[in-house]
């Protein structure tokens, strides 16, 4: 299986509505042009429009552990499945969950045939969450998120050790997140054993997102 680039568009003004749709279409074009596996993760309000507009996989940024029903303000796994999403991020550092909640969401995703990408802050947390058997784990030290300093460069031992410790539990692909900003960061992450990268602001706020993503795709 090819290595993976996951683009989290977060809730920046630069990724809302038509701007998020354009970033998603750029990701689709780069994926088709290079053969790279790219997943786009738009804002929740844009999920349905993006799913209808691109052929690459679309993930939600978060789903809640509750079932459908009287749970105002929550986003269910059933809802993102209904609009055509292929998976979801879970436990991003900006949307932390309890282990029990993560487990419930992962299990629900499994039943609904949705991919689960669980985020973790440390090697130890990554290993612990591997026991839940998500489809992917992304290790992201919170202090480096949005910093422009990649974990693959600043703390390569975290990537290397996380890959090893997760493999002790299950054969789950580990992605490298936090500060991934260019093709060099992507290449280094893969050399350290990661199966891909998870990034956000570097892509969303790039002056030329297509050129940046092309560079990353060529190094994945």
Where in the sequence numbering do the catalytic residues fall? 92, 140
Q: E strands of the chain, at which residues? A: 4-8, 37-41, 59-60, 87-90, 115-120, 136-139, 174-177, 196-199
- 169-to-18, 59, 186 alpha-carbon distances in Å: 42, 25, 25
CA distance 103 to 106: 5
Give Cα 16 distance to the centre of its chain.
18
DSSP per-residue string spanning 125-176: HHHHHHTT--SEEEE--GGGTTSS--HHHH-HHHHHHHHHHHHHH----EEE
């Amino acid at each position: 299986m090819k290595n993976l680039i996951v683009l989290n568009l977060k809730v920046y003004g630069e990724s809302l509505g038509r701007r998020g749709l354009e970033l998603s279409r750029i990701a689709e074009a780069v994926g088709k042009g290079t053969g790279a596996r790219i997943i786009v993760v738009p804002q929740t309000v844009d999920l349905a429009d993006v799913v209808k507009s691109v052929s690459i996989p679309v993930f939600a940024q978060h789903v809640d552990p509750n079932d459908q029903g009287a749970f105002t303000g929550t986003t269910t796994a059933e809802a993102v499945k209904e609009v055509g999403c292929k998976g979801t991020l879970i436990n991003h550092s900006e949307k932390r969950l309890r282990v029990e909640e993560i487990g419930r969401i992962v299990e629900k995703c499994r039943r609904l045939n949705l991919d689960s990408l669980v985020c973790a802050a440390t090697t130890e947390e990554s290993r612990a969450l591997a026991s839940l058997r998500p489809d992917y784990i992304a290790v992201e030290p919170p202090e480096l998120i949005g910093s422009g300093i990649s974990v693959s460069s600043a703390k390569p031992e975290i990537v290397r050790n996380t890959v090893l410790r997760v493999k002790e539990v299950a054969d789950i692909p580990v992605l490298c997140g936090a500060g991934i900003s260019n093709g060099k960061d992507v290449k280094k992450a893969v050399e350290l054993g990661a199966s891909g990268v998870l990034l956000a602001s570097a892509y969303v706020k790039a002056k030329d997102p297509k050129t940046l993503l092309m560079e990353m795709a060529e190094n994945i």
